[in-house]
Amino acid sequence: MATARRDTLLELQARAQAKWADEKTFEVTAPRDGSKPPKFFGNFPYPYMNGMLHLGHAFSLSKLEFASAYHRLNGDEVLFPFAFHCTGMPIKASADKIKNEIAKFGNPPQFPVIDEAAAAAAAAEKAAEKAADAKNADPTKFVAKKSKAQAKAGTAAYQWEIMKASGIEDSEIPPFADSYHWLDYFPPLAKRDVTSMGCQVDWRRSFITTDKNPFYDSFVRWQFNTLRKIGKVIKAKRMAVFSPLDGQPCADHDRASGEGVGVQEYTLIKMAVYPECLVGELAALAGKKVFLAAATLRPETMYGQTNCWVLPDGDYGAFQMADGDVLVVCDRAARNLSYQEHTSAPGEVNKLLGFKGTALMGCAVKSPLAVLERIYCLPMMTILMGKGTGVVTSVPSDSPDDFMALGDLKAKPALRQKFGVLDEWVLPFDVVPCVHIPEFGDACAPVVCEQLKIKSQNEKVKLEEAKHRTYLKGFTDGIMLLGAFKGEPVKVVKPKIKDMLIAEGSALVYSEPEKVVMSRSGDECVVALTDQWYLEYGEEAWRARADRCLASMNTYHPEARRAFEHTLGWLRQWACSRSFGLGTRVPWDPQYLIESLSDSTVYMAYYTVAHLLQRGDMYGASPGPVGPEALTDEVWDAAFLGVALPASSTFPAALLDEMKAEFNFWYPFDLRVSGKDLIQNHLTFAIYNHTAIWEGDESKWPKSFRTNGHLLLNGEKMSKSTGNFKTLKQTIEEYSADAMRFALADAGDTIEDANFVDETANAAILRMTKELVWIEEMLSETAKGNLRTTAEEHPFADRVFANAINTAIEAAREHFENMMFREALKSGYYDLQSARDAYRLMCGGDAGMRADLAAHYVDVSTLLLAPFCPHTCEHVWSTLLGRPGTVTKAGFPVGDAPDKVLTAASKYLDEMVSTIRKGIAKAVAPPKKKGPGPPPAAKTCHCVNVFISAQFGGWQEVCLGILAETFDAAAGTFPPVAEILDAVKGSSLAAQADFKNVMKMVMPFIKFKMDETGVVGAGALSLRLVFDEAAILTENMGYILRVCGLQALGVFSAAAKGSEVEAAIAGGIKADQATPGAPGMHYVVAASDDPDLSKMSL
């Protein structure tokens, strides 16, 4: 592919960036005199520094970049800072992997060959497990979708391979075994790429996180001391997803997979095994208290148990607990239990015996609450050993699966024989009703299975439907039929029954991850009862402030607001400390680190003062006005909370004044841009932390969050494993920053996934370079005096083009304000360029354009494109136009209010030209040749007669009258369409014989007129058009004749009499049926060799 055009843009990019760097264009300082000029402070979640920035980062970042560029162009003081996140597990885990791979496989490592067939089989098994998980999910719980990190993960099995895939040479990889090398390596590369993108960042305010930067470390310590002081940080024991290998909770950012997965809590029912059953394979357990332990979400239904289920081929074990009881569960469940204070020590599993599920078949148990004294262990083939304990309670009155499985065993002797099931274990046991649901009666499962005509336990789809019909109804509408809570609602007594079972020792609380979670250390996580520091998210008063903050914020999309509201609804205490990784130590308990989602919630405030403390050194290592030790909590309180410093403080007063001036000018931030996947944690945490630290000053709370979906690449998910992936650096080198930015703006504005299209980026290269050539030519021709300077030749075209420029300015501004960048690009670039091209056509070419309008177009089009493609626009503004300063601060263009009537007239003219062209083509098309003989003679049309109606009449007049009567001019609104149609049906039209046919035309006419009213105002409801059709056609007759290839155009009143009307009628044209805006057209056609055609008189 030829790259000359791309290389031109890259050259302009380098020049513009050098100019901005030399002139410090994007460095901004808050006023020191207390003044408050318009300002805009936008920020973006600092990216994690365990790799190169990619196109997905650039998409989210572009939203902030375009918004900041717009506000800077608009004359606002703009702060756009950028920093780098290094806190947490991922870097440390990856560094340890490098270290371990070198130790195990050498340097450079020689990895074993992967069996691709086995890997494919494992992937297929994992996909099947995922599908099964979806079918068996608790329908009352919200389940997060696959995380962005998972979606982008490649297939590399080793960290060394991941580093090589990122373009790092073998010789460069060994130093990455040191965690801090990552902090030295990746942030400068990220800064390079963001700068190459043309982002208008004040880099003086850049920083990295962790204790490697002592200034930021001090800020985070202040944040947490403040939160603790106001009671938002507590220490408690809570269940948390936990990595045994790392020895600490595993939060979202610490996970290789399972982001968003939470804790699923069960009630573990202890079903006591009768001693006489401890024989055969179970004989070693004789004399012990043995329980089959079943995990259930519905303890209130335990009254209705008829049996329990196990998987015949499943692997089970007998595990001794700390209290001496022996629980029969699967190994995975035992591992979870060992971290929940049920075994003698955390992580210690005492497995007495291992066996298959067949060893438990026919085992008799006594189950808590069960009406039946003795129930038996039976086979069920659909048990998932990856969920619960592998032992399942059976309540056929309320579980469709249990009802059909028990029914199959009863009805099929061969099935009982296959698994060695004796008749007395099954046949005597009938449904035991325990919950009444008004819609289904005393036993919902049999009723729903009958309704759905389910015949077997193998009808999975129908059983899933039956489960969804009964599960929620049982909770919301169910009434207890048995036990101590008989007659009470299930939703009231469910927790009471659970607590009762636990209190009497018949059950335990058992938890496990909702799905498989893998830590970045490669460890499968468990749920552990951990004693650690928590943020009290969800606390009533704090939640109320968070709700109030969200209500005052702009979220730009209603879907985003609903997602925030949902998160605030479920979010509770959050473990904020870790034992492993990088970061800031908990100030009052330094054995712990503050985790990565907790040190990144109010750091936007640190941007306002970072340049004063770090002097542009992102690591905080260069000497500044004070050392980090001078930044006590009292200093931070003074800078950010307005608290007076103690009289004994030696902190420089002038520096503190500067810090306060910066913070108070820039805060609150006006915009935070992010991917929508951070709503469920980071962004909601930011709301909580701001409303806590600035509880007494709501003016410092965030003003808006703008979230977007993920970025597709050419319609497919970005994925390293498929090769459909681009780093930011690669993309800029391939297309140039401006062409990439253009395609990012065009990719999409909604909260749904957007699409970066290579073809759009390549087309942008062509369009921009062609436009540069045109601008240079126009400037040259203007300088030579070759462009028109008078208004007489094309007055209508001039007015329309000037109006189109005004329209583009107004529309682009509105779209920029609403962060609808694709629409801003359409209005300010595509539509404006199309208007320029139409103007050239109307004027007969470039030379026919009016010089001052052409120059105005160049100015406006450059400024409207500048937020998207600043490098190219800087070249036009500074080099080609010779303007002083920089295009980035040149001022958003100002225009007159668009003339909506003129816009409508211009649209009418365009449509008439199109109609005439199509009509001519149809009129001269030869008829199909029939039979032998010469083909029909060719025909030509050099004349068109147009018959115009002055005003609406008939049914249209009635409809316009109704619309005019019902239009609220003050509000600019109509009543509902249904009311308008009712008025039409109640009008004089109803008496007409063809009323049914008329009504078919009424609806589109009414809709058209309502839409037109929204554009041009109440004038659209007049019986006449808002412009003069005849005048438009007459004024532009020369243009119409030229572009339609005509010699004559006749414009007549449809009510007129004369030879032209008679000729039209003779030609089958009903001139009297013309309506305003839809004239009758007569195409005068003759043989192409007719000598008199050119002399035709109109």
Q: Is the pLDDT of residue 313 over 80?
A: yes
436 strand-pairing partners: 479
Distance CA 469, CA 445 (A): 10
Q: What is the spatial distance between Cα 489 and Cα 477, in angstroms, rounded to a whole number? A: 7
- pLDDT value at position 727? 94
Average pLDDT, the chain: 91
The answer on pLDDT for 42 being more than 50 is yes
**Are both 885 and 938 inside the same structural domain?**
no
Task: For CA atoms 754, 759, 761, 763, give the dihedral sign.
Answer: negative
Cα–Cα distances in Å, from 216 out to 15, 28, 50, 608, 672?
A: 34, 21, 19, 12, 20
Confidence of residue 480 (pLDDT cuts 50, 70, 90): very high
* For residues 290-316, average pLDDT: 97
Looking at residue 169, its pLDDT comes to 93
Task: Report the length, in residues, of the chain.
Answer: 1098
- Is 184 a member of any domain? yes
DSSP-assigned states of every residue in 29-95: ---SS-----EEEEE-PPPBSSS--BHHHHHHHHHHHHHHHHHHHTT-EEE----BB--BHHHHHHH
Segments of 311-456 assigned E as strands: 315-320, 326-329, 350-356, 364-366, 375-379, 392-394, 435-436
pLDDT tops 60 at residue 784:
yes
Burial track 662-688 (b if 16+ CB lie within 10 A, e otherwise): bbbbbbbbbbbbbbbbbbbbbbbbbbb
Q: Are residues 1046 and 980 in the same domain?
A: yes
Mean per-residue pLDDT for 1021-1032?
A: 89
Residues 307, 207 within the same domain: no
Asked whether residue 514 carries a pLDDT value surpassing 70, the answer given is yes
Is residue 616 included in any domain, yes or no? yes
The reported pLDDT for the residue numbered 1068 is 63
CB-side neighbour CA atoms (13 Å) of 645: 20
Model confidence at 474: pLDDT above 70: yes
Q: Tell me how crowded residue 110 is: count the other CB atoms within 10 A of its CB.
A: 8
In the numeric block, the tokens 């299930």 are attached to 490
Q: How many CA atoms lie less than 13 Å away from 399 in the CB half-sphere?
A: 26
Check whether 379 has a pLDDT greater than 90: yes
State whether 170 and 126 are in the same domain.
yes
The more confident residue out of 1062 and 489 is 489
Looking at residue 797, which CATH number applies to its domain?
Answer: 1.10.730.10
The domain boundary residue, chosen from 885, 902, 919: 902
Q: Is the pLDDT of residue 705 over 70?
A: yes
At residue 144, the pLDDT reads: 39
| 18 domain-assigned | no
Rounded Cα distance, 463 and 408, in Å: 14
Residue 1086: inside a domain:
yes
Kindly tell me if the per-residue pLDDT of 425 is higher than 60. yes
pLDDT at 134: 44
- Residue-wise pLDDT tens digits, 122-170: 555 555 555 445 434 443 343 434 444 443 444 557 899 999 988 899 9
Domain count, the chain: 4
> Is 396 in the same domain as 250?
no
* Same domain (yes/no): 1060, 932: yes
Indicate whether 524 belongs to any domain: no
Count the Cβ atoms, other than its own, within 10 Å of residue 531: 9
Final residue in a domain of this structure, among 902, 936, 957? 902
Q: For 519-569, write each residue's pLDDT tens digit.
A: 988 889 999 998 889 999 999 999 999 999 999 999 999 999 999 999 999
Domain hosting 268: range is: 263-513
From 136-145, 277-286, 688-697, the region with the lowest mean pLDDT: 136-145
Residues 363 and 413 in one domain: yes
Within this chain, do residues 686 and 832 fall inside the same structural domain, yes or no? Answer: no
Kindly state whether residues 372 and 289 are assigned to the same domain.
Answer: yes
Q: What is the pLDDT of residue 132?
A: 47
Which of 255 and 60 is assigned the larger pLDDT?
A: 60
Residues 332 and 385: their CA atoms lie apart, in Å, by 8
Rounded to 5 degrees, what angle do the CA atoms 234, 239, 245 make? 105
Average pLDDT over residues 882-897: 97
Provide, rounded to the nearest whole percent, the portion of the chain with pLDDT above 70: 93
Helix runs in 275-372, H state only: 331-338
Place of tokens 């005849």: 1030
Residue 260's φ and ψ, nearest 5 degrees, are 90, -10
Please count the other Cβ atoms lying within 10 Å of the Cβ belonging to residue 971: 7
- Bridge partners, 672 (sequence order): 43, 705
Q: Does 23 map to a domain?
A: no
pLDDT one-digit tens code per residue, 938-967: 789 989 999 998 888 888 888 888 888 889
Q: Are 805 and 675 found together in one domain?
A: no
Distance between CA atoms of residues 740 and 734, nearest Å:
9
User: Which of 691, 708, 725 finishes a domain?
Assistant: 708
Cα distance between residue 535 and residue 548, in whole Å = 19
| Percent of the chain scoring above 90 in pLDDT | 76
Q: Sorting pLDDT into bands at 50, 70 and 90, what band is 1096?
A: very low
CA atoms within 13 A on the CB side of 905: 22
In the 8-state DSSP scheme, what is residue 676? G
Residue 107 Rama label (left phi>0; alpha psi -120 to 50; beta): beta
Question: What does the pLDDT average to over 10-26?
Answer: 98
- The three-class DSSP label of residue 631 is coil
Burial 3-14 (b: 16+ CB within 10 A, else e): eebbebbbebbe
Burial of 136 (0-12, 13-18, 19+ CB in 10 A): middle
pLDDT in tens, 606-616: 999 999 999 99
Residue 991 DSSP symbol? G
**Window from 438-442, 488-492, 518-522, 674-678 with minimum mean pLDDT:** 518-522
Beta bridge partners of 353: 318
Report the pLDDT value the prediction gives residue 121, as an integer from 0 to 100.
Answer: 62
Residue 234, both tokens = 């507590």
Given a contact cutoff of 8 angstroms between Cβ atoms, the answer to whether 215 and 614 are in contact is yes
Q: For 722-742, what is each residue's pLDDT tens digit? A: 889 999 999 999 999 999 999
Q: In this structure, what are the phi and psi dihedrals at residue 489, rounded to the nearest 5 degrees?
A: -65, 140
Which one is predicted more confidently, 7 or 1025?
7
**pLDDT over threshold 90, residue 370:** yes
pTM for the complete prediction?
A: 0.80
Q: Do 890 and 943 belong to one domain? A: no
Say yes or no: 802 and 768 in one domain. yes
**Which region among 122-136, 263-277, 315-329, 1023-1037 has the lowest average model confidence (pLDDT)?**
122-136
Q: Is residue 352 part of a domain?
A: yes
Q: Is residue 1028 part of a domain?
A: yes
Please state whether the peptide bond connecting residue 590 to the residue before it is cis, i.e. omega within 30 degrees of 0: no
The CATH number given to whatever domain includes residue 412 is: 3.90.740.10
